[in-house]
Amino acid sequence: MINSRLFFKLSFLILFSIPLLLTAEPTVDVGKTVFKNYCASCHAKDMKSKLTGPALGGVEERWADYPRQDLYDWIRNSQKMIQAGHPKAVELWNEWKPTVMTAWPNLTDEEIESVMLYIDAQANKVPETLSVASGGGDVDSTENGFGNWIYWVLLGILGFLALILTRIVGNLNHIATVKEGGFAERKTLVETLTSKSVVSFLIFAAVILGGYLTVTKAVNLGRQQAYAPEQPIKFSHETHAGLHKIDCQYCHDGARRSKHAVIPATNTCMNCHKAIKVGSEYGTAELTKIYASIGYDPSTDKYIEDYESLSQDEVESIYTKWIGDNIKAEKGIDSLDQTGLEMVQEQWTDLVSSLTNEQKKKVQGPIEWERIHNLPDHVYFNHSQHVTVGKVECEACHGKVEEMAVVEQHAPLSMGWCINCHRQTEVQFEGNEYYDSYENYHEQLANGDRDKVTVEDIGGLECQKCHY
Ligand code: HEC
Ligand code: HEC
Ligand code: HEC
Ligand code: HEC
Ligand code: HEC
Ligand code: HEC
């Protein structure tokens, strides 16, 4: 007689071990639970604002100079580390004392890593409405769709096989029992389907599916194609780079010579907006934000001395005067009427909320532009290498920015996207001294053994070129 019990026991053992293996890995979901239970009472869930304890967003970078173990130790018992004189711990204590962080000696490494994943996910959270990593890049759209598709087919086949095996074993058992002279009832399909074994199988399948989806979601979280956040000032590339044809590198001069393209400092804006003080679209509403940030008084055309130390009221009187004077001039009146006063107040309130946030409490100081493009920390990307050496146009990676009133992320910024271009793009050897060292390629090109050299040929697919 075939031992059907043993058969099921074995198959469950195998099925069991899969979810177990999955849960040993740190996951965002585990992190969320741990965070909610142990950390949320003192650390804000958005990871960006301070509560009883500091905002945890970016905490891994802040601890990057120390071994990972130090971060574990901190979370398990911060006071012990402070007493031992660990420099980072002491620094934190000096800022936050006398508030003591609770010790969590029982948290495992996996649980802490899970919390780190959750912190990262929350800190980089993208509004729900975004199409996260969908469509767009040629490589990316297939990457995700294909994975899911395969998964469902495999699941279907597995389920079907399980069903057939159950039927076969059942039938064989039936025959065996009958042969031995016993009496056995043959199970119907419905009985088989609702039997304990099949129901348990379905539950495990659901667990595995859940694990899979969590992992893919975690991988995609950082990606944000088409991300187009609202900016503190309604700065339009369409107006500047499109209509007025200002060169990209006039403002992003880092692109040519350094790793970062760099968002221009407010001083760069002043080159033109010392003269253009009232805009045709928003009047004083947007341009005054530039002045209030840097401390320029457009009424007197002078920079304000010791601007940083002025109180909010003093700042308000300078810029509401400017806004009010313009409304008076526009309407041809000597003093502001009720609607005029309301307009001034409305512009001032909007200015304050644009130039301040949780961390930056006063309007003075740099404009905090929302960052749009953001590669994960483990990726190395260098603008000058692409723009100056590779002679790649901004548009190839950023799309038609000069047509965007609000910048949006054009490319997926996925690994497939980088690799794909390195496979396809020809290196421009002619007249580029940077490539002089590749003599053999030059020879091969000259004598016709090779018709092109791609980025791949010069090592553009090697992991360590892009990963720290
Ligand atoms: C009782 C309040 C409290 C709880 C609960 C708490 N923390 Fe803290 N945490 C703090 C305070 C306060 C600090 C600042 C340092 C200090 O005063 O000791 C801090 C600092 C930290 C830091 C260092 C931050 C940095 O910028 O380097 C990390 C990491 C951290 N906490 C993680 C956690 C985790 C993970 C949990 C949950 C397992 C947790 N904390 C639970 C209050 C708390
Ligand atoms: C007059 C100055 C100016 C010019 C000219 C300009 N930019 Fe910008 N750019 C900015 C400012 C300010 C921001 C930040 C605000 C924003 O995102 O709109 C920015 C943001 C960007 C960003 C998004 C940065 C991020 O956060 O990831 C990209 C990409 C970009 N510019 C590309 C270009 C390209 C390409 C051109 C030329 C077609 C160009 N810019 C011309 C000032 C300028
Ligand atoms: C090279 C010159 C130049 C630079 C540099 C420049 N701008 Fe402009 N800006 C213009 C011109 C020209 C206009 C169109 C004025 C108009 O017709 O309203 C404009 C319009 C604007 C407007 C719309 C005003 C309105 O009400 O219509 C805003 C906002 C603005 N700029 C912000 C900025 C910011 C922020 C910076 C710095 C990052 C900057 N500009 C840098 C030339 C420049
Ligand atoms: C080969 C692709 C590529 C080209 C070409 C390129 N960029 Fe970028 N750009 C990126 C990537 C990738 C990021 C994100 C970098 C990061 O997160 O570290 C980025 C980020 C930026 C940013 C945000 C600030 C920063 O430096 O991280 C600006 C502004 C920008 N690019 C402007 C430009 C301009 C202007 C040009 C043309 C002169 C240009 N880029 C050419 C891929 C490119
Ligand atoms: C539009 C095409 C394009 C895209 C997209 C692109 N690259 Fe490149 N990349 C090039 C070209 C062309 C070169 C050759 C320039 C050179 O020799 O340094 C290059 C060179 C490089 C190099 C130097 C390779 C070497 O062997 O020296 C690195 C590193 C690199 N890219 C990283 C990236 C990363 C990371 C991304 C994605 C975030 C990316 N690139 C996206 C076109 C691209
Ligand atoms: C041309 C640049 C480039 C090269 C070469 C490259 N990577 Fe990546 N890699 C990236 C970028 C960009 C990301 C970030 C993708 C994202 O955030 O979605 C990434 C992400 C990853 C990740 C994290 C998982 C993920 O999808 O986010 C792993 C693991 C990885 N790369 C491994 C490798 C290995 C192994 C190699 C060598 C075979 C390699 N990479 C070569 C650019 C590159």
Question: What CATH number should be reported for the domain holding residue 114?
Answer: 1.10.760.10
- Give the ligand 2 atom nearest the CA of 247: 5
In a domain, 203, yes or no: yes
- Residue given tokens 């001034």 in the structure block: 344
Q: Are 431 and 246 within 8 A, CB to CB?
A: no
Task: Tell me: do 76 and 29 sit in the same domain.
Answer: yes
In a domain, 327, yes or no: no
Picking from 221, 239, 257, the residue at the C-terminal end of a domain is 221
Q: How many residues does the chain have?
A: 468
CA–CA gap between residue 425 and residue 428 (Å, rounded): 9
Task: Tell me: do 119 and 153 sit in the same domain.
Answer: no
pLDDT of residue 25: 75
Task: Tell me: do 45 and 100 sit in the same domain.
Answer: yes
- Residue given tokens 């290196």 in the structure block: 427
In a domain, 463, yes or no: yes
Alpha carbon dihedral 103, 108, 113, 118, in 10-degree steps, equals: -70
Task: Tell me: do 87 and 138 sit in the same domain.
Answer: no
In a domain, 111, yes or no: yes
CA 262 to ligand 5 centroid distance, Å: 18
Could you tell me if the CB of 381 is within 6 A of ligand 4? Answer: yes
Q: Whose CA is nearest to atom 40 of ligand 6?
A: 463
pLDDT of residue 103: 85
Task: Tell me: do 75 and 108 sit in the same domain.
Answer: yes
Could you tell me if the CB of 248 is within 6 A of ligand 5? Answer: no
Could you tell me if the CB of 383 is within 6 A of ligand 4? Answer: yes
Burial of 290 (0-12, 13-18, 19+ CB in 10 A): buried
- Residue given tokens 């502001």 in the structure block: 336
Task: Tell me: do 136 and 192 sit in the same domain.
Answer: yes
Q: What is the mean pLDDT of the chain?
A: 84
Tokens of 202: 């379905």
pLDDT of residue 130: 38
Task: Tell me: do 94 and 30 sit in the same domain.
Answer: yes
For the chain, the C-alpha Rg in angstroms (whole number) is 31
Task: Tell me: do 111 and 139 sit in the same domain.
Answer: no
Task: Tell me: do 443 and 425 sit in the same domain.
Answer: yes
CA 360 to ligand 1 centroid distance, Å: 22
pLDDT lower than 70: segments of the chain: 1-24, 126-149, 182-187, 215-223, 431
Burial of 24 (0-12, 13-18, 19+ CB in 10 A): exposed
Number of CB atoms found within 10 A of residue 393's CB: 11
CA 221 to ligand 6 centroid distance, Å: 15
Q: Are 354 and 363 within 8 A, CB to CB?
A: no
Q: Angle at which helices 68-76 and 109-123 pack, to 10 degrees?
A: 100
Q: Which domain holds residue 104?
A: 25-123
Q: Are 368 and 357 within 8 A, CB to CB?
A: yes
Which ligand is nearest the CA of 373, by number? 2
Task: Tell me: do 116 and 29 sit in the same domain.
Answer: yes
Q: Whose CA is nearest to atom 20 of ligand 3?
A: 279
CA–CA gap between residue 449 and residue 453 (Å, rounded): 11
Per-residue model confidence as pLDDT tens digits over 405-434: 999 999 999 999 999 999 999 887 776 777
Task: Tell me: do 192 and 143 sit in the same domain.
Answer: yes
CA 408 to ligand 6 centroid distance, Å: 23
The pTM (predicted TM-score) of the whole model is: 0.66
Positions of E strands within 77-202: none
Alpha carbon dihedral 256, 259, 265, 268, in 10-degree steps, equals: 0
In a domain, 102, yes or no: yes
In a domain, 230, yes or no: no
User: In sequence order, what are the beta bridge partners of 467?
Assistant: 379
Task: Tell me: do 150 and 118 sit in the same domain.
Answer: no
Distances, alpha carbon 3 to alpha carbons 6, 10, 54, 199, in Å: 6, 11, 60, 20
DSSP H or E run through 71: helix 68-76
Which ligand is nearest the CA of 97, by number? 1
Q: Are 383 and 318 within 8 A, CB to CB?
A: no
SS3 content of the chain, % helix, strand, coil (to 5): 55, 0, 40
Residue to mutate, 139, 373, 421, 452, ligand 5, most ligand atoms under 8 Å from C-beta: 421
Which ligand is nearest the CA of 276, by number? 3
In a domain, 236, yes or no: no
**Is 345 strand, coil or helix?**
helix
Could you tell me if the CB of 54 is within 6 A of ligand 1? Answer: yes
Picking from 206, 221, 236, the residue at the C-terminal end of a domain is 221
Cβ contacts of residue 171 below 8 Å, gap of 6+?
Answer: 186
Cβ contacts of residue 235 below 8 Å, gap of 6+?
Answer: 286
Total count of domains within the chain: 3
In a domain, 437, yes or no: yes
Which ligand is nearest the CA of 61, by number? 1
Residue to mutate, 235, 383, 388, 391, ligand 4, most ligand atoms under 8 Å from C-beta: 383
Picking from 221, 238, 273, the residue at the C-terminal end of a domain is 221
- Ligand 3: residues with CB < 6 A are 233-235, 239-240, 244, 246, 264, 268-269, 271-273, 276, 279-283, 286-287, 290
